[in-house]
Amino acid sequence: MSYDESAVYQPEDLRLLGEVLDEVVQSLPPNLRTSANRVAIARNILACALTGERDPGVLRRAALMHSTGAAAA
């Protein structure tokens, strides 16, 4: 999944995306709550949101799609 660094989001969208990011990071075991994993999760959320998705459940699932490999390292 990729994301567009030039994408523009409305304030309510940013609030939702931030809440999803915080929830996903907090759901990880403490040893996996690293800066690198947080960045990877944020990128996955942004890539999903770029498609127009705003369902928190879908965003949460997308957040972990490709992060598990990095998280396990």
Percent of the chain with pLDDT over 90: 78
Other C-beta atoms closer than 10 Å to the C-beta of 40 total 19
Please name which of 47, 37, 46, 41 lies closest in space to residue 70, comparing C-alpha atoms: 37
pLDDT tens digits, 41-67: 999 999 999 999 999 999 999 999 875
pLDDT at 4 over 80: no
Other C-beta atoms closer than 10 Å to the C-beta of 7 total 11
pTM exceeds 0.75, yes or no: yes
pLDDT tens digits, 7-20: 899 999 999 999 99
Domain borders along the chain are 11-72
Other C-beta atoms closer than 10 Å to the C-beta of 58 total 14
The answer to whether 40 and 67 have CB atoms below 8 angstroms apart is yes
Supply the mean pLDDT for the chain: 89
